[in-house]
């Protein structure tokens, strides 16, 4: 063979003698570095392997490459066919060096499988227990079940649940008919009359609670108790209670005193005002008081929240209902009588 070196003239003969080869000086045309073209047979093998690699990649685009795939790629690289493998796998389009980063003017054609996102290759996750619990807890109630539940307690001669059916419902709910929870249930149902749930009230109320069974209603009681601890919600419940106690069918506008006393005790179950007992005693000691008007019922809540236990914060210039004025006067008289009695006792002792 011929060795090509770049050397000084004085070294030429020594190198020829040492290597036993003719030494030719390297010119500037670089023609000596020309690589012979790949024989046609090799080009066909390379093309076939490139096509095979593309088909193989498309066939396995949804699975993780195995060790055999890596070995095949390695063998192909060592055999001189790595260019075909890279062209079939690489998603990057070559950029022309003369186009300043633009992908135009590229004449290289790359065979690519259909583009797929990373997420499309991930198999769907199995439903977990937490997902099932979330789905069950958020499901809507079944109206058909609500209607069936209503039919269990409905009166035979009326399309409503009357006193007997309500007692039976309360037994199934494990509450007493005069329990605070029953009042909350009537509030949510929007009941117009005591001891009566119409079909519409019962069905719409159960939908609002998202409960279609006795057990479902029981599970909502704690939520209702928490809800009415909000002052605005309790005020709404308090006002509903007055209307609930009226006999709407007869057009009643004044609530009887005995019913009012029972409802005041019931609605203040969670938080009883300190003045409530004295107010009830006042009503019981004055049988001339026949009933409680809506205005008196509504204003008593403000009255109980405003005045102190000793009524020292009561302002008689405000527009309080006359019955509340009478109550304050009655309490002040009792207080004065007690003071006078104490003074008389002290005088007698002295």
pLDDT tens for 88-103 read 444 444 444 444 444 4
- Region of 207 (left: φ > 0; alpha: ψ -120 to 50; beta: rest) is alpha
Stated length of the chain: 350
Q: What is the pLDDT along the chain (350 residues), one digit of tens a residue?
A: 444 444 455 555 555 555 555 555 555 455 554 545 555 555 555 555 455 444 444 444 444 444 454 455 445 444 444 444 434 444 444 444 444 444 444 444 444 444 444 444 444 444 444 443 334 344 568 999 999 999 999 999 999 999 999 999 999 999 999 999 999 999 999 999 999 999 999 999 999 999 999 999 999 999 999 999 999 999 999 999 999 999 877 888 999 999 999 999 999 999 999 999 999 999 999 999 989 999 999 999 999 999 888 888 888 888 899 999 999 999 988 887 655 555 555 555 65
Angstrom distance (rounded) from CA 23 to CA 4: 6
Angstrom distance (rounded) from CA 112 to CA 276: 84
Name the β-bridge partners of 94: none
Angstrom distance (rounded) from CA 212 to CA 215: 8
Write the pLDDT tens digit of every residue in 236-291. 999 999 999 998 778 889 999 999 999 999 999 999 999 999 999 999 999 999 89
Q: Which tokens hold the place of 314?
A: 């009561």
Q: Positive or negative CA dihedral for 301, 303, 306, 310? A: negative
Contact by Cβ (8 Å): 199, 160 = yes
Phi, then psi, of 4 in degrees rounded to 5 = -115, 125
Identify which of 155, 237, 241 has the alpha carbon closest to the alpha carbon of residue 199: 155
Angstrom distance (rounded) from CA 332 to CA 307: 13
Identify which of 249, 154, 260 has the alpha carbon closest to the alpha carbon of residue 201: 154
Query: Got the DSSP string for 268-328?
Result: TSSS--TTHHHHHHHHHH-TT--EE-HHHHHHHHHHHHHS-TTSTT--TTS---HHHHHHH
Q: Is 111 exposed, middle or buried (0-12, 13-18, 19+ CB in 10 A)?
A: middle
Write the pLDDT tens digit of every residue in 71-94. 554 454 444 444 444 344 444 444
**Domains detected in the chain:** 140-229 (1.10.238.10), 230-349 (1.10.238.200)
């Amino acid at each position: 063979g011929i060795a090509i070196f770049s050397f000084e003239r004085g070294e030429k003969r020594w190198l020829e003698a040492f290597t036993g080869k003719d030494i030719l000086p390297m010119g500037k045309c670089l023609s000596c570095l020309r690589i012979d073209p790949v024989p046609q047979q090799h080009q066909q093998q390379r093309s076939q392997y490139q096509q095979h690699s593309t088909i193989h990649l498309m066939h396995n685009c949804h699975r993780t490459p195995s060790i055999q795939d890596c070995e095949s790629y390695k063998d192909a690289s060592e055999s001189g066919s790595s260019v075909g493998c890279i062209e079939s796998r690489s998603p990057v389009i070559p950029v022309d060096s003369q186009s300043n980063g633009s992908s135009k003017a590229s004449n290289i054609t790359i065979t690519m499988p259909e583009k797929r996102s990373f997420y499309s290759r991930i198999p769907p996750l199995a439903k977990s227990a937490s997902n099932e619990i979330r789905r069950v807890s958020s499901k809507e109630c079944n109206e058909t079940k609500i209607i069936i539940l209503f039919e269990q307690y409905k009166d035979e001669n009326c399309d409503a649940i009357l006193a007997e059916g309500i007692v039976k419902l309360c037994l199934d709910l494990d509450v007493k008919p005069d329990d605070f929870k029953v009042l909350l249930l009537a509030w949510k149902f929007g009941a117009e009359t005591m001891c009566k749930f119409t079909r519409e009230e019962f069905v719409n109320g159960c939908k609002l609670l998202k409960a279609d069974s006795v057990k479902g209603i029981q599970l909502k009681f704690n939520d209702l108790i928490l809800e009415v601890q909000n002052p605005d919600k309790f005020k709404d419940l308090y006002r509903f209670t007055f209307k609930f106690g009226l006999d709407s069918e007869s057009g009643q506008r004044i609530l009887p005193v005995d019913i009012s006393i029972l409802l005041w005790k019931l609605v203040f179950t969670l938080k009883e005002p300190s003045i409530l007992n004295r107010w009830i005693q006042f009503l019981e000691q004055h049988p001339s008081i026949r009933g409680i008007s809506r205005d008196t019922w509504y204003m008593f809540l403000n009255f109980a929240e405003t005045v102190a236990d000793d009524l020292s914060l009561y302002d008689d210039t405000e527009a309080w209902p006359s019955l509340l004025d009478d109550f304050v006067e009655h309490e002040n008289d009792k207080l004065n009588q007690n003071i006078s009695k104490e003074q008389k006792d002290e005088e007698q002792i002295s």
